[in-house]
Structure formats: C-alpha cells, structure tokens
Amino acid sequence: MAPVMIKAILGEKYKDAGMDIYQKVEERVKEFIDKTTGIQTLVQMKGLVDIVREFGYVPEENMLDEFGYKKIYNDGLLEMVRVRERKYADGELSLDDLTVKNAVPFLQKMYDAGIQLYLASGSDETDVIEEARIMGYDHLFEGRIYGSVGDVTIEAKRIVLNRIMEKIGQDVSTQVITFGDGPVEIRETRKRGGLTVGLATNELRRYELNPSKRTRLIKAGADIIIPDFSQYSRLLTLLNIVTE
C-alpha cells in the first residue's frame, strides 16, 4: 500500500523528487498506514485523498477519488496475489510461505475444540473468500467470512462483532476472543467486553515481533500481544481452550 500512496501523493514529481521530499512523504504515509491498519481499504483511500491534497503536488483536477485510488491499489495487489496463487498451485510455494507462522494449525485446533470461527477483513469480501478457498482453510469458518462491500459506512469487523453479540447475547460477550493486528477490531471487542489478542507480526518474515505494531496494539487496549502462533499450545492453555 505504501508505494501506491507515495506515488499518488507525489504525482509527476515522483521520478525526480529529492530525498528530503520523498522521506517526508514516506514518513507521512507510514504514519497513516500504522494508524489505519485493520480498517477497510476504501476508507484508507479516502484518507489518501486528503493527504494528496495536503501535500499539494497533484493539481486538484488530476486527483482521483477514493474509488480511483482503491482500483490502482487493488489491481496491483491482485496481480501479486494471483502470482502467489499460481506458485502455490504449482508447488513452488507452500502454505507456510504465505501465512503467519502456525496460524492455520492454530485455527484447526480452535475448530477442533468446537469454537465457532469468524473471519473479518478490510479487503473486498469476494477476494477474502476466494483466497481462503484457494489456501484451503475456508471450511474452518463454515461460511462466516466477511469483508468490505464497497461502502465506507459499512465496517465489516464492527458488523461481525455485532452479529456475534446478537447471536450469543451480551451477557456472554466475555466468551468472544478477537485476534487482530489492527486497532479497529481490538477497540470494538473491548467495548463489548471480549478478550483481545494483538498480533504484532513482522509481515515480511511472517513471524517474530514488529515493535511498532506492538506499541499500537497496546495503545488500542489489547489484553495479550503475540508475535505469531509459534507457541500456540501455550496460547491455547492461557486462553483455557481444551484440545485433544
């Protein structure tokens, strides 16, 4: 996302921008992404419009709206995803190469323990469902996969939590556990009295701690912080989840 935003902000100045200008834009973009991780992409792109206007390198008549910037981002992202999917299908990449360490085995353990699993994402819902199918873990959610539907007023993660609470009742909201790397899901769960586990993962390595994420998740109110699921047996014990 960062490269797309930087190019959008600098416009025609992108190729010859001095290091000081580039770094200033890069820092602004990084700060914005850090603050908005977890919300739907369309809302992030709406924020990008404001940042493009803030720097003023792109004339107003040349600026895109949030839908235009989202299309640029999505086209690039889907191209990368399709390449990875082909390599996965051909055996060049394994599930471990594409997921946070031990995430799928952990989900399987939760599923086997009889826990209902929900997946909520800020990405487009159709893409989230398709990716889960291709990667082979969609059955663990039994149809409970939600994502963006192209409406900035509809926040998938908030809707999912509302549906869960309506189904189980507010009086047992403490039985809800949310795992996430963004402030949105952490705050929304805390509001409802649920337990929150912040996932502060180094996304490039897919394991180990990302210190900046850790700080952000602590500020959001996460009850537990983990770098990945490498020690999921200990995590299950901590959460009092009994597995065979």
Output the pLDDT for position 120: 86
**Residue that has been written with the tokens 């999912």 in this structure:** 160
The Cα 180–Cα 144 span in angstroms is 16
Compute the average pLDDT of residues 154-176. Answer: 76
Q: Would the pLDDT of 145 be above 70?
A: yes
Q: Would the pLDDT of 139 be above 70?
A: yes
Output the pLDDT for position 83: 93
Please report, for the chain, the start and end positions of each structural domain, with discontinuous segments joined by +.
Answer: 2-78, 96-238
Retrieve residue 204's tokens. Answer: 């490039």
230 close to 213: Cβ distance less than 8 angstroms:
no
Q: Would the pLDDT of 152 be above 70?
A: no
Compute the average pLDDT of residues 78-87. Answer: 90
Amino acid at 45: M
Q: Say whether 74 sits in a helix, a strand or coil.
A: helix
Compute the average pLDDT of residues 44-68. Answer: 95
pLDDT tens readout for residues 203-238? 889 999 999 889 989 999 999 999 999 999 999 999
The Cα 100–Cα 30 span in angstroms is 22
Long-range (24+ apart) CB contacts under 8 A made by 183-186 are 183/35, 183/37, 183/38, 183/216, 183/217, 183/219, 183/220, 184/38, 184/39, 184/155, 184/157, 184/158, 185/38, 185/120, 185/157, 185/161, 186/217, 186/220, 186/221, 186/222
Output the pLDDT for position 113: 94
Return the CATH superfamily for domain 96-238.
HAD superfamily/HAD-like (3.40.50.1000)
